[in-house]
Amino acid sequence: MHYRPLGKTGIRVSEIGFGTWGLGGDAYGPTDDRVSVEALERAFGAGVNFFDTSDLYGNGHSEELLGRVFRRRRDKIVIATKGGMLPHRGFRMPQDFSPAHLGKALEASLKRMKTDYVDLYQLHSPPREVIDREEVLELLEDFRCQGKIRCYGISARCPDDALYAVEKYAIPVVQVNFNLLDQRALENGLFSAAAGKTGIIARTPLVFGFLSDALKADHEFCGRDHRANWPLDQRRRWVEARHKFAFLWRGTGRSQVQAALRFILDFGAVSTTIPGMLTPGQVDEDVLASNLPRLSPKEHERISAIYHGNDFYDQSAKQRGNGAEAA
């Protein structure tokens, strides 16, 4: 495993991190805690030291799992959690970024994770008016001064919001979508603006699993799996998209997932990427991407041509989705 600086925070993180959204047990279908614990242990043994979670994931269950597994090895890992997003279903996302709520939310997260500090505390998808709210950034700085957090950041709704936060407020860490099918963070100048000063966490590296070969467009999602909210035509668009990049894994020695992760790691502005890993087998496959050679310049040129020659996302998808009107 290779490690990178998380911006100027003084924290070094594994370039393959662990996204724990799925471990909450609802957003990616039902899970078995025994398997989740095995996956966390396997990741730690493979050198993963960065674990990204939120008080939203399973109403705090993923935080509880991290506390259970790493309570006695707290100094060996870096935990990033988030606050401000309230429980919901679908794409309508109620939020509360008031100091009163965030203060209680952070205390609750610390209790669930059996720790007295969080390495990185992130606002969870705040609108720009919240980023501009002086009291919120002052509160985050107060948390840091009190020793409850080592640093703070923003898990941005979109790369443009992340760029805004970096350019206007020099936010220490931002989390954004970035993958083969979504290169907005590269296109809008975020990587350039953040270079050398802001840590970038690349989320959705596998597009909710649609960049693996495990899903079909008409897959029957169980329980409260959030992927069921997306319209069928958008899911089909993602499934068909992965075939356009097959040259990255066919005959190369890379798996489909590893090629997708390696693409992200080729960008030095990225501190870490956080695939959601539900099983030890997924961990074993994902962590190998850290030691794979960089993609070739010709492969990057071809990726760019495919990306610019296709539209992989329907801007109306969330408005038409099954959860568009959910509370």
Domains in the chain (CATH in brackets) are 3-320 (3.20.20.100)
Would you say residue 321 has pLDDT above 70? no
Residue 124, beta-bridge partner list: 155
Q: What is the pLDDT of residues 40-53, one digit of tens each?
A: 999 999 999 999 99
Question: Active-site residues: which are they?
Answer: 57
How many CB atoms sit inside 10 A of residue 10's CB?
A: 9
CB within 8 Å of 282: residues ≥ 6 apart: 39, 275
Average pLDDT over residues 206-213: 88
Q: What is the pLDDT of residues 125-168, one digit of tens each?
A: 999 999 999 999 999 999 999 999 999 999 999 999 999 999 99
Would you say residue 230 has pLDDT above 80? yes
Would you say residue 89 has pLDDT above 80? no
| Tokens read off for 75 | 């100094």
Q: Cβ(112)–Cβ(53) under 8 Å?
A: no
Average pLDDT over residues 173-186: 97
- How far are the Cα atoms of 27, 97, 131, 298 from residue 223, in angstroms, in the given order? 8, 29, 34, 42
The pLDDT-based confidence of 30 (bands split at 50, 70, 90) is confident
Would you say residue 72 has pLDDT above 80? yes
| Tokens read off for 248 | 């990255």
The pLDDT-based confidence of 325 (bands split at 50, 70, 90) is very low
Question: Where does 113-178 have alpha helices with state H?
Answer: 128-131, 134-145, 159-169
- Residue 218's pLDDT is 78
- Residue 25's pLDDT is 79
Would you say residue 27 has pLDDT above 90? no
- Predicted TM-score (pTM) of the model is 0.94
Query: Which 3-state string (H, E, C) describes 299-321?
Result: HHHHHHHHHHCCCCCCCCHHHHC
Average pLDDT over residues 278-286: 96
Average pLDDT over residues 171-193: 97
Would you say residue 9 has pLDDT above 80? yes
- Per-chain mean pLDDT for the chain: 92
Among residues 314, 135, 306, the alpha carbon closest in space to that of 234 is found at: 314
The terminus-to-terminus CA distance of the chain in angstroms comes to: 41
- Residue 223's pLDDT is 66
Question: Where does the chain have alpha helices with state H?
Answer: 33-45, 61-70, 99-112, 128-131, 134-145, 159-169, 184-187, 190-194, 232-243, 256-265, 280-287, 297-308, 317-320
What is the spatial distance between Cα 221 and Cα 107, in angstroms, rounded to a whole number? 34
Would you say residue 326 has pLDDT above 60? no
Would you say residue 327 has pLDDT above 60? no
Residues of the chain with pLDDT > 90, as a percent, come to 76
Q: How many CA atoms lie within 13 A of 306 on its CB side?
A: 19
Query: Three-class SS of residue 18?
Result: strand
- Residue 222's pLDDT is 73
Average pLDDT over residues 278-292: 96
What is the spatial distance between Cα 265 and Cα 294, in angstroms, rounded to a whole number? 8
Cα 251 to its chain centre, rounded Å, is 29
